């Protein structure tokens, strides 16, 4: 049979119960033992004091004969009653008699009964009682000097102090003082009872508190588990409730929700990316298909028509090729794995990009200041990013426009800056243009303009290098793009 494992609530309640039980047990033992030995000490010192008092009284009247001492002893014992909470006293005088406050106990005599007529049965009971008392009396009278505990028929356990003293004239006397332990036992029993009651109550309260505490911790956990199951089933929009929960649980809920936000955002971006990519690929595909269908419908197309269709098809195919290449590049640039980082000086790299740029001679492109501080970069990737920025600048400047590329040392960063004197980018769009497929100018459709991946690639490359890219106003009047690279 499989035993079900206790949940969080059960475990917490059980641990609290065990800890409480151990604490109560230890406290009980300590208090019980302490009280017992304290009460025992007190009883013993009471008995010692009583013995001293009796000894003083016995010898106080000066030397006397054994008979005289016995009379004194009888006077002393007569003043003391023996009962469940009082003492038993017996004083034996050498060569004299024994005085006691409990003659029935210490000098059992059958005729004490008064000689009244008894039935056989009564006689038997009476004899039995006498036997027991004789045994009690023997135990008291024969006890060793010092403290002993004996069991007496009517009084239960009795603590007995037996002391031998010498009276002023050298006569020996034996003083026995006994104290019934019933009150001590009762007190200890009372203590025990209180402990039981308090213990059970505390234990129940502790278990209940543990259960409630664990429930309040487990409740948000269960809610979290339910949300996590929902996420597992594809439901990304639910969130953990955050208000009113405990600090730790709140932090967990917040980071859980944060993780869901990021996850949802990533899924949403991924979805948009796939939608945009398929849309942008479908446009040239539609062109290709439409043109080929036109051609197919004509049983005898003239060569000019064939040439026109071939031109359109190859243009559309080139667009698709370029886009697929950009998508692959983007996917590759997004991870820093596979970067071949080498310390490079940026001046020659920028000059190479400007020289290799294919543009009409009416635009001025120049390399401005270039720091000689080397930076660890993947040369191919950074060249690609810079050429994307230059090509954008070329697209957004009219003939006679000015473009300047520079590299500036800025402490922890070395920045590559591309300025142009074109129309610039409106402030509200300066973040958005780095998104994939983001194109600002409505006039430039995907058939005649770019696909909107260029800046996304620049951003991915900059971030893979541990840096970033941003768009600002250029002192030339147009747009300024800055790639910050960790120096
Ligand atoms: N130098 C610039 N001046 C003004 N606007 C710019 C400049 N560079 C980019 N933009 C705006 O940012 C948008 C996104 O640029 P991005 O390079 O990502 O795409 P694209 O150039 O349209 O296409 P692709 O680069 O993929 O061929 C551009 O469509 C344009 O609207
Ligand atoms: Mg571009």
Residue nearest to atom 19 of ligand 1 (CA): 452
Q: Is the pLDDT of residue 111 over 50?
A: no
Last residue of a domain, one of 141, 166, 188: 188
Q: Is residue 384 a contact partner of residue 453, using CB atoms and an 8 Å limit? A: no
- Residue 112 domain-assigned? yes
Please compute the mean of the pLDDT values over residues 439-452 and round it to a whole number: 64
SS3 call for 475:
coil
- Give the long-range contacts of residues 15-23, CB within 8 A, separation 24 or more: 15/210, 16/206, 16/207, 16/209, 16/210, 17/203, 17/206, 17/207, 17/210, 20/202, 20/203, 20/206, 21/203
Mutate to test the pocket of ligand 1, among 455, 458, 481, 482 (most ligand atoms within 8 A of CB): 455
Residue 148 maps to which CATH number? 3.30.450.20
Name the pLDDT band for 425 (thresholds 50, 70, 90).
Answer: very high
Q: Report pLDDT digits (tens) over 344-375.
A: 999 999 999 998 876 666 788 999 999 999 99
Residue nearest to atom 12 of ligand 1 (CA): 433
Q: Report pLDDT digits (tens) over 121-149.
A: 667 777 777 777 778 888 888 888 999 99
- Residue 227 domain-assigned? no
- Residue 193 domain-assigned? no
Rounded to the nearest angstrom, the distance between the alpha carbon of 317 and the centre of ligand 2 is 19
Q: Is residue 462 a contact partner of residue 483, using CB atoms and an 8 Å limit? A: yes
- Residue 264 domain-assigned? no
Longest dimension (CA), the chain: 167
Cα 194 to Cα 32, 188, 201, 362, 433, distances in angstroms:
11, 10, 11, 105, 79
Q: Report pLDDT digits (tens) over 370-387.
A: 999 999 999 999 999 999
Top pLDDT among 380 and 63 is at 380
Beta-carbon count within 10 A of 404 CB: 21
- Residue 253 domain-assigned? no
Task: List phi, psi (to 5°) of 472.
Answer: -135, -175
**Facing residues of 410 across strands?**
413
Residue nearest to atom 7 of ligand 1 (CA): 392
Mutate to test the pocket of ligand 1, among 450, 469, 471, 478 (most ligand atoms within 8 A of CB): 450
Q: Compute the distance between CA of residue 31 and CA of residue 25 in angstroms, rounded to an integer.
A: 10
pLDDT recorded at residue 116 = 47
Mutate to test the pocket of ligand 1, among 357, 428, 454, 472 (most ligand atoms within 8 A of CB): 454
Rounded to the nearest angstrom, the distance between the alpha carbon of 59 and the centre of ligand 1 is 125
Top pLDDT among 447 and 175 is at 175
Predicted TM-score (pTM) of this structure: 0.54
- Residue 76 domain-assigned? yes
pLDDT recorded at residue 182 = 85
Q: Which listed ligand is nearest to 457 at the C-alpha? A: 1
Residue nearest to atom 27 of ligand 1 (CA): 450
Please compute the mean of the pLDDT values over residues 405-425 and round it to a whole number: 95
Top pLDDT among 9 and 119 is at 9
Q: What total of structural domains would you count in the chain?
A: 2
Domain with 472 in it? 335-441+450-486
Tokens in use for 166?
Answer: 């010498």
Ligand 1 cavity residues, CB under 6 Å: 392-393, 396, 420, 422-425, 433, 438-441, 449-456, 479
Rounded to the nearest angstrom, the distance between the alpha carbon of 316 and the centre of ligand 1 is 20
Q: Is residue 414 a contact partner of residue 373, using CB atoms and an 8 Å limit? A: yes
Return residues with CB closer than 5 A to ligand 2 (ion). 392, 450, 454
Q: Compute the distance between CA of residue 137 and CA of residue 143 in angstroms, rounded to an integer.
A: 10
Residue nearest to atom 21 of ligand 1 (CA): 450
Rounded to the nearest angstrom, the distance between the alpha carbon of 373 and the centre of ligand 1 is 29
Would you call 279 exposed, middle or buried from its count of C-beta atoms within 10 A (0-12, 13-18, 19+)? exposed
Q: Compute the distance between CA of residue 18 and CA of residue 11 in angstroms, rounded to an integer.
A: 10
Rounded to the nearest angstrom, the distance between the alpha carbon of 452 and the centre of ligand 1 is 6
Task: List phi, psi (to 5°) of 238.
Answer: -75, 150
Q: Which of 198, 201, 203, 152 is nearest to 178 (CA)?
A: 152
- Residue 120 domain-assigned? yes
Q: Which listed ligand is nearest to 393 at the C-alpha? A: 1
**In percent, how much of the chain has pLDDT > 90?**
34
pLDDT recorded at residue 206 = 87
Please compute the mean of the pLDDT values over residues 195-213 and round it to a whole number: 89
Rounded to the nearest angstrom, the distance between the alpha carbon of 239 and the centre of ligand 1 is 37
Last residue of a domain, one of 166, 188, 210: 188
Please compute the mean of the pLDDT values over residues 292-305 and round it to a whole number: 89
Q: Is the pLDDT of residue 69 over 60?
A: yes
Q: Compute the distance between CA of residue 51 and CA of residue 68 in angstroms, rounded to an integer.
A: 19
- Residue 244 domain-assigned? no
Q: Which listed ligand is nearest to 441 at the C-alpha? A: 1
Which atom of ligand 1 is least distant from the CA of 453? 26
Write down the mean pLDDT value for the chain: 85
Bridge-based pairing state of the strands 402-410 and 413-420: antiparallel
Residue 412 maps to which CATH number? 3.30.565.10
Query: Residue 17 is inside which H or E element, if any?
Result: helix 8-60
Tokens in use for 286?
Answer: 């539609």
pLDDT recorded at residue 114 = 45
Last residue of a domain, one of 133, 156, 188: 188
């Amino acid at each position: 049979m499989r035993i079900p494992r206790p949940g969080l609530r059960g475990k917490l309640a059980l641990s609290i119960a065990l800890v409480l039980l151990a604490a109560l047990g230890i406290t009980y033992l300590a208090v019980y033992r302490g009280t017992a030995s304290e009460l025992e000490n007190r009883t013993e010192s009471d008995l010692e004091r009583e013995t001293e008092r009796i000894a003083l009284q016995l010898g106080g009247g000066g030397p006397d004969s054994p008979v005289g001492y016995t009379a004194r002893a009888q006077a002393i014992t007569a003043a003391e009653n023996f009962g469940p909470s009082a003492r038993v006293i017996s004083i034996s005088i050498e060569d004299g008699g024994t005085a006691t406050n409990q003659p029935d106990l210490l000098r059992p005599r059958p005729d004490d009964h008064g000689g009244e007529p008894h039935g056989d049965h009564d006689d038997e009971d009476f004899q039995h009682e006498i036997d027991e008392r004789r045994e009690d009396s023997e135990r008291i009278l024969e006890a060793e000097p010092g403290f002993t505990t004996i069991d007496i028929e009517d009084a239960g356990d009795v603590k007995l102090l037996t002391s031998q003293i010498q009276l002023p004239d050298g006569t020996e006397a034996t003083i026995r003082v006994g104290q019934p332990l019933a009150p001590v036992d009762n007190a200890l029993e009372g203590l025990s009872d209180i402990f039981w009651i308090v213990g059970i109550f505390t234990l129940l309260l502790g278990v209940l508190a543990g259960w409630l505490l664990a429930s309040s911790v487990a409740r948000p956990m269960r809610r979290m588990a339910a949300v996590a199951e929902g996420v597992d089933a594809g439901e990304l929009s639910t969130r953990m409730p955050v208000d009113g929960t405990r600090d730790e649980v709140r932090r967990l809920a917040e980071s859980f929700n944060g993780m869901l936000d990021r996850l949802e955002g990533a899924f949403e971006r991924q979805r948009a990316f796939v939608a945009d990519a398929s849309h942008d690929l479908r446009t040239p595909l539609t062109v290709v298909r439409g043109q080929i269908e036109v051609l197919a419908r004509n049983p005898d197309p003239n060569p000019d028509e064939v040439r026109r269709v071939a031109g359109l098809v190859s243009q559309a195919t080139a667009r698709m090729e370029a886009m697929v290449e950009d998508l692959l590049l983007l996917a590759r640039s997004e991870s820093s794995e596979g970067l071949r980082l080498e310390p490079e000086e940026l001046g020659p790299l920028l000059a190479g990009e400007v020289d290799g740029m294919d543009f009409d001679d009416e635009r001025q492109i120049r390399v401005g200041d270039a720091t000689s501080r080397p930076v660890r970069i993947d040369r191919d990737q950074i060249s690609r990013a810079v050429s994307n920025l230059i090509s954008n600048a070329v697209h957004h400047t009219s003939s006679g426009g000015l473009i300047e590329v520079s590299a500036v040392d800025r402490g922890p960063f070395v920045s590559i800056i591309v300025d142009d004197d074109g129309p610039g980018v409106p402030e509200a769009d300066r973040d958005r243009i780095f998104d994939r497929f983001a194109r600002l100018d409505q006039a430039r459709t995907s058939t005649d303009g770019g696909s909107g991946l260029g800046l996304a690639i620049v951003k991915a490359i900059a971030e893979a290098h541990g840096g970033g890219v941003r768009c600002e106003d250029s002192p030339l009047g147009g747009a300024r793009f800055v790639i910050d690279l960790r120096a």
